A = this chain, B = another copy of it.
Amino acid sequence: MSQKKSTTPAKQLSDAALELIATRFRALSEPMRLRLLNLLMLGEKTVGQLVEATGSGQANVSKHLALLRDAGMVGVRKEGLTSVCFIADPIVNELCDMMCRRLREEMEGKAKSLASGLR
């Protein structure tokens, strides 16, 4: 045992800190934004490419990107007429990976118990 899991011993957080953390998680709490991040994980994309890939309205995509930018998760580089977007904070990949892994585990667990219930 003795896994270096390093979960800190639960400090109590200030209201301001909680607000900050909540805001970050809120940025990840909309399917459309997750879709954008998911697309950007494949590589840089212009806003137009993201609009096309998502099939959503241009204004909508632009606003979601602005929010992700404010949260420091997405960066934008102007290139002539177009804006090229990219993932600016590797935490995005880590958080999403972690969440996906956990969901997969849960699903498999549920499937297994369901299967054994049907046996």
Contacts and interface: CB of A to CB of B under 8 A. Distances in A.
A111 interface: no
A34 B16 CA distance: 12
Contacts of A39: 12
Main secondary structure of the interface of A (DSSP, over half): helix
| Oligomer copy total | 2
Contacts of A102: 89, 91
Interface in A60-119: 72, 89-91, 93-100, 102-103, 106
Contact of A21 (B20, B24, B90, B99): B99
6 contacts: A8-B100, A10-B38, A13-B35, A24-B103, A25-B28, A25-B95
